[in-house]
């Protein structure tokens, strides 16, 4: 899975990036005008994998992974070249999810491009800039088609759809709200529009706000998030990043002080999985304990295909047990005795936390 971090400049995007990936990229109190994208991979924390790894003591333990991209800040007017422009958005065009980092923290030493703290205004600004970036793409493509000497019939059909998109965007309608036929969607599948992507808002608070559970315009922001059918999470970016950089045995004390049971990466990945409708299943053995990410409602046969296409093609049965059941029983033998290891067919809908052993024949 790929996640792109977006937001105004100086709101804590790189801080959050460091918190989740431990990449240790430098941050600055001043606008830097940097135009490069930071990229790094984070493992998805999962206590079930921790447990399975202790139980099997495998040569290799593989958590699910998320690739994070951290881009420079977008400002109002970025689509017209303000700030450092918006060309860098190309590097997150293929993201499966956007996380919009918005500033709530109060710190006179860190400049705010709009001078005041107003997360609602800033969220609207970024939504608009993403919409304008889509508009730009649609306009350019329309121009290119219209200036071509000879145009194929399929491309003419595409032109009609693009005009429809342009009209929506001009009326500030994000593309995910547009009702398109399957055929139209197919024509557009290579474009990767921003206003079609799922988006989570991460509010970056200071320690005081975080402890009090309050920050400027919180109610309005929650309302806006509901309206836009998105999720809100609160992070305490600076402090959490500093804690994440400590050796694990030293973290607890600082986490307690912030009333934190988990660091941002846990909360973020859980919210993302839930919002995107994703679950995990596991494969276990002496060689490897591994987490696999699938959509909810995936059949055992399709899930097997994630591991290898041969397993999908030659699927016979899946031996399945939920990792919680295994943990409660202590050993696989005991769980088997208690009838918790099931034999499931190809239509079985895989549940979150299932351990699967696929029997196949090719
Ligand atoms: N007080 C406080 N400062 C923070 C917090 N999060 C980030 N900062 C500071 O804000 C400044 C900017 O943080 P970055 O993470 O670099 O922000 P950014 O969004 O990546 O900025 P650009 O890449 O320039 O767009 C740095 O000096 C951070 O230390 C926070 O929660 N509280
Ligand atoms: Mg940055």
Name the residue of 9, 14, 92, 239 to mutate for ligand 1: max ligand atoms within 8 A of Cβ.
14
Ligand 1 within 6 A of CB of 105: yes
* Mean pLDDT over each residue of the chain, to the nearest integer: 95
Per-residue confidence (pLDDT) for residue 131, from 0 to 100: 96
Ligand 1 within 6 A of CB of 204: yes
CA distances from 193 to 113, 137, 175 (A): 26, 8, 8
Helix (H/G/I), strand (E/B), else coil: 5:
strand
pLDDT digits (tens, 9 = 90+) for 328-359: 999 999 999 999 999 999 999 999 999 999 99
Q: What are phi and psi of 122, to 5 degrees?
A: -70, -35
Ligand 1 within 6 A of CB of 207: no
Q: Which ligand is nearest to the CA of 107?
A: 1
Q: Which ligand is nearest to the CA of 74?
A: 1
% of the chain residues with pLDDT over 70: 100
Residues whose CB falls within 8 Å of the CB of residue 317, separated by 6 or more in sequence, listed in order: 343, 344, 345, 358, 359
Tell the residue nearest (CA) to atom 7 of ligand 1: 12
Span from the CA of 279 to the centroid of ligand 2 (angstroms): 30
- The Cα 292–Cα 63 span in angstroms is 8
What six digits make up the tokens of 139? 């306009």
Per-residue confidence (pLDDT) for residue 280, from 0 to 100: 98
Q: Tokens 């919210």 correspond to what residue?
A: 271
Residue 33 has pLDDT above 90, yes or no: no
- The Cα 220–Cα 218 span in angstroms is 6
Tell me if 335 sits within 8 A of 325, measured CB to CB: yes
CA distances from 157 to 140, 163, 179 (A): 16, 10, 17
Q: Which ligand is nearest to the CA of 84?
A: 1
Per-residue confidence (pLDDT) for residue 35, from 0 to 100: 84
Task: Give the full edge-to-edge strand order of the sheet including 231-235.
Answer: 38-43, 65-70, 2-6, 97-103, 199-204, 231-235
Beta strand ranges found along 302-353 (DSSP E) = 315-322, 342-344
Q: Which of 50, 58, 23 is nearest to 37 (CA)?
A: 23
Residue 62's DSSP bridge partners are 290
Tell the residue nearest (CA) to atom 27 of ligand 1: 29
Residue 316 has pLDDT above 90, yes or no: yes
Per-residue confidence (pLDDT) for residue 29, from 0 to 100: 82
Residues whose CB falls within 8 Å of the CB of residue 172, separated by 6 or more in sequence, listed in order: 128, 131
Helix (H/G/I), strand (E/B), else coil: 317:
strand
Tell the residue nearest (CA) to atom 5 of ligand 1: 238
Give residue 276's pLDDT band: very low, low, confident or very high (50, 70, 90): very high
Give residue 132's pLDDT band: very low, low, confident or very high (50, 70, 90): very high
Look at the domain 2-274 and name its fold. Answer: Rossmann fold (3.40.50)
Ligand 1 within 6 A of CB of 15: yes
Ligand 1 within 6 A of CB of 110: yes
Residue 32 has pLDDT above 90, yes or no: no
Q: Which of 67-76, 96-105, 245-254, 286-295 is the least confident region?
A: 245-254
Per-residue confidence (pLDDT) for residue 161, from 0 to 100: 95
The secondary structure of 59-96 as a DSSP string is SEEE--EEEEEEPPPP-TTGGGT-TT-SGGGGGGTT-S
Ligand 1 within 6 A of CB of 206: yes
Span from the CA of 312 to the centroid of ligand 1 (angstroms): 46
Average pLDDT value for residue range 130-145: 96
Helix (H/G/I), strand (E/B), else coil: 153:
helix
Span from the CA of 14 to the centroid of ligand 2 (angstroms): 4
Per-residue confidence (pLDDT) for residue 347, from 0 to 100: 97
pLDDT digits (tens, 9 = 90+) for 46-71: 999 999 999 999 999 999 999 999 99
Span from the CA of 18 to the centroid of ligand 2 (angstroms): 10
Ligand 1 within 6 A of CB of 107: yes
Per-residue confidence (pLDDT) for residue 28, from 0 to 100: 83
Helix (H/G/I), strand (E/B), else coil: 338:
coil
Ligand 1 within 6 A of CB of 27: yes
- Sign of the alpha-carbon torsion through 122, 128, 130, 136: negative
Domain ranges of the chain: 2-274, 297-360
Q: Tokens 């958005």 correspond to what residue?
A: 89
pLDDT digits (tens, 9 = 90+) for 164-202: 999 999 999 999 999 999 999 999 989 999 999 999 999
Tell me if 192 sits within 8 A of 133, measured CB to CB: no
Residue 40 has pLDDT above 90, yes or no: yes
Q: Which ligand is nearest to the CA of 10?
A: 1
Tell me if 333 sits within 8 A of 281, measured CB to CB: no
Give residue 218's pLDDT band: very low, low, confident or very high (50, 70, 90): very high
Q: Are strands 2-6 and 97-103 parallel, antiparallel or unpaired?
A: parallel
Average pLDDT value for residue range 297-302: 98
What six digits make up the tokens of 248? 């694990």
- Sign of the alpha-carbon torsion through 265, 226, 166, 75: negative
pLDDT digits (tens, 9 = 90+) for 150-168: 888 889 999 999 999 999 9
Per-residue confidence (pLDDT) for residue 139, from 0 to 100: 96
Average pLDDT value for residue range 32-48: 92
Domain made up of 297-360: CATH architecture:
Roll (3.10)
């Amino acid at each position: 899975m790929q996640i792109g971090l977006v937001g105004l400049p100086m709101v804590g995007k790189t801080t959050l990036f460091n918190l989740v990936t431990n990449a240790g990229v430098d941050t600055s109190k001043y606008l830097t005008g940097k135009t490069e994208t930071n990229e790094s991979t984070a493992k998805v924390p999962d206590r079930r994998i921790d447990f399975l790894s202790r139980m099997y003591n495998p040569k290799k333990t593989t958590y699910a992974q998320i690739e994070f991209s951290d881009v420079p800040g977008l400002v109002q007017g970025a689509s017209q070249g303000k700030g450092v422009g918006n060309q860098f958005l190309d590097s997150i065009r293929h993201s499966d999810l956007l996380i919009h980092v918005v500033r709530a923290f109060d710190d006179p030493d860190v400049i705010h491009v709009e001078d005041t703290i107003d997360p609602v205004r800033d969220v609207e600004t970024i939504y608009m800039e993403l919409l304008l970036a889509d508009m730009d793409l649609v306009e350019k493509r329309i121009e290119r088609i219209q200036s071509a000497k000879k145009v194929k019939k399929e491309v003419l059909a595409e032109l009609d759809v693009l005009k429809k998109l342009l009209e929506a965007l001009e009326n500030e309608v994000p593309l995910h709200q547009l009702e398109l036929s399957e055929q139209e969607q197919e024509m557009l599948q290579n474009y990767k529009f921003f206003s079609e992507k799922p988006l989570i808002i991460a509010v970056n608070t200071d320690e005081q706000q975080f402890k009090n559970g309050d920050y400027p315009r919180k109610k309005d922001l929650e309302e806006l998030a509901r309206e836009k059918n998105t999720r809100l999470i609160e992070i305490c970016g600076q402090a959490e990043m500093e804690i994440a950089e400590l050796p694990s045995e030293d973290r607890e004390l600082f986490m307690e002080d912030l009333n934190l049971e988990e660091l941002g990466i846990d909360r973020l990945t859980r919210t993302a999985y839930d919002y995107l409708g994703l679950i995990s299943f596991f494969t276990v053995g002496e060689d490897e304990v591994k987490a696999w990410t699938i959509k909810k409602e995936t059949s055992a046969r399709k899930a097997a295909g994630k591991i290898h296409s041969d397993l999908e093609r030659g699927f016979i049965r899946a031996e399945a047990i939920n990792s919680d059941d295994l943990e409660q029983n202590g050993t696989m033998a005991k769980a088997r005795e208690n009838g918790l290891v099931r034999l499931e067919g190809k239509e079985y809908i895989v549940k979150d936390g299932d351990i699967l052993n696929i029997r196949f024949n090719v």
